[in-house]
Structure 1
């Protein structure tokens, strides 16, 4: 007979399952001694006793999360058994492991179908403009892809009818309910992670809301930089900005703050903007690459130049920023940004300080990155370079058309 009962708030309550699993597996409580019971508590997690800490490989936890998205009646026990076996150095019975792998394969397949067929599945209503669909799902994959759906549909309201249940994004919160019962809020972070990384299958070119692009970009783990950096540093500023500034990548300060151009180069950049008569609050500021690439030297993190692979991986995010904002003037700060946006090698000395007509009708201006000014050793030369940089910014400001109505 089970000696421990764990109550979960809903059939996909990964958050409480994980909290309980960390404690119980750390205490080596056998799977057969635990009963998992779905009964909404409406309250915070009950304190759990201390247990020995442990680490679980990412692949193991993802398999457990995939199993929890299946509709196997004993899925909570199976997922727990997977973690318990790793902690105790025991084996999962082959028959149970086969059931888990088969269930996970079904979840992955349904996740792929949902993502790749989302715009075929979803239809827009004439009344309130919300997206809606009926989905004959055999797993809980739709719930675990609610964040993907929300980002892909540009944060617009949507409704999804599922077998015996329904799900809705109101534009502000996610609601979930079973047929015949009122829907209640469902926290995104209480759900198991989807069987595919969030950006897999995401059609970034179809997202029309800048906040949706920014939120999606913060989940990106495509390149190794994303796994080492503290956070994604997306652009910031007005979504209708007439002037857009693009640098290379965030630095150490930006990585820690989660904002572009806030370190020493950013402070110099702000001073130069002021000297050129440009209000940063009226512009949009971003980087070609959204993560900090660095090497360690003791406790310091030393900037390393972004390579072609990292620039290519981040290109869809920069393209989305540019497409949504539609700047009249695009200022390229440094060779990396200029090469990425012009699609060819760029020598700053030959390209800077002139207007360049871009393919989308915007006007481009190439100049140095403000960090270059910090590296000029001679004070007199640094002053001349700073004045040249300010002159480039004034040129860019002079090329701006009147604000869009």
Structure 2
């Protein structure tokens, strides 16, 4: 007979389910002793402080999240049982496991359908109403792909009518409600993670808002670098910048700060920009690769050069930045950036310090990466190379078209 009642705020309240599961499984409370109830409580969820910590494999937690996106009436109990049996070393009943796997398969199928047919399903309305659709969903996959839809639709408002419920992104917040009740705000992070990684199926070339591209890129887990780095380091600067600077990849300091060019090379870069008469606040600064690639050496993380696979995986993000910003001048800092953007092997000595007309009409300039200047051992040579770098930046600045009045 259930002795503990857990109240969830909405039918896909993964955040409260997870917090309660951590507390109750940590105390070895059996699935049969818990009753799950859905009703807005408005109260923060505080797990019991004496719960024992435990770790769950990513695949197991994802299966639980997928089950919570199904419409099985006992989905909260099934998902809890999955975690409980893993922690206690007991066996989950085979019929329960089969039901969970079948439910997860249905959720994955609906997720694929939603993402593949999003622009067919959603109709655009002129004005502030944005996109809208009515969908006969058989799972809660649409709710859990709300962030995907928001990114894919470039942060524009949208609304989705579903059986017995509706969901709306106003451009500022996500609203959710059952039929007959006024929708109320819910947090994206209260929902289960979607059955597919957020970036999978995203049509990046259709995203027209730079903030949407940046937010989507921060979810990217395509290459192994993303699993080791602290975070995605996306570009920053004006979306209408006339100058765009592209380096290789974030370093240790950038990985920790979440911003490009803030470490020693970034400080040298800022100084050179100032001497060249370029205001960094008027430019856009980014990297070819958005995660820090390194090898551990004791407590230090040693930079490793980005390879062709990492460059290819990050290419859609860089292309989106370039497409949205449409800079007049594109400055390639180092051979990695230049090779990626020119589509061929680049030797800095042969390509630098001249204007290069690019396919989209942008003017490109190749120069060294500022980190190169930090590695020049001889003081006189370092001064000479720095002056050459500043001269390249001045050349790039001279190629800008005049700002509109």
TM-score range, shorter chain: over 0.9
1:190 counterpart residue number: 190
How far apart, CA to CA, are the structure 2 residues paired with 1:293 and 1:113? 34
2:362 counterpart residue number: 362
TM-score with structure 1 setting the length: 0.99
Deviations 1:89-120 (A, max 9, x none): 11110000000000000000000000000000
Deviations 1:170-189 (A, max 9, x none): 00000011111100001101
Deviations 1:292-345 (A, max 9, x none): 000011100000000000000000000000000000000000000000000000
1:128 shift after superposition: 2.6
How far apart, CA to CA, are the structure 1 residues paired with 2:114 and 2:90? 36
Whether the 8 Å CA contact 2:226–2:291 is kept in 1: the answer is: yes
Equivalent residues in 2 for 1:215-230, closer than 5 Å: 215-230=215-230
- DSSP-derived class of the 1:168 partner: strand
Deviations 1:205-242 (A, max 9, x none): 00000000000000000000000000100000000000
1:404 shift after superposition: 4.2
Q: Where in structure 1 do 4 or more consecutive aligned residues deviate above 3 Å?
A: none
Deviations 1:127-151 (A, max 9, x none): 4351000111000000000000000
1:126 shift after superposition: 2.6
Deviations 1:228-274 (A, max 9, x none): 00010000000000000000000000000000000000000000000
1:76 counterpart residue number: 76
2:231 counterpart residue number: 231
1:250 counterpart residue number: 250
How far apart, CA to CA, are the structure 2 residues paired with 1:346 and 1:404? 34
1:31 counterpart residue number: 31
Unaligned runs of 5+ in 2: none
Structure 2 residue 98 is the aligned partner of structure 1 residue 98: yes
Unaligned runs of 5+ in 1: none
How far apart, CA to CA, are the structure 1 residues paired with 2:203 and 2:278? 34
How far apart, CA to CA, are the structure 2 residues paired with 1:404 and 1:301? 45
Greater Cα offset, 40-49 or 149-158 = 40-49
Greater Cα offset, 123-132 or 217-226 = 123-132
- DSSP-derived class of the 2:53 partner: coil
- DSSP-derived class of the 1:311 partner: helix
1:43 shift after superposition: 1.4
How far apart, CA to CA, are the structure 2 residues paired with 1:129 and 1:340? 39
1:144 counterpart residue number: 144
How far apart, CA to CA, are the structure 1 residues paired with 2:46 and 2:54? 21
Whether the 8 Å CA contact 2:19–2:47 is kept in 1: the answer is: no
Whether the 8 Å CA contact 2:333–2:366 is kept in 1: the answer is: yes
Deviations 1:60-108 (A, max 9, x none): 0000000000000000000000000100111110000000000000000
How far apart, CA to CA, are the structure 1 residues paired with 2:92 and 2:149? 34
Whether the 8 Å CA contact 2:23–2:47 is kept in 1: the answer is: no
1:47 shift after superposition: 4.4
1:46 shift after superposition: 3.5
- DSSP-derived class of the 2:176 partner: strand
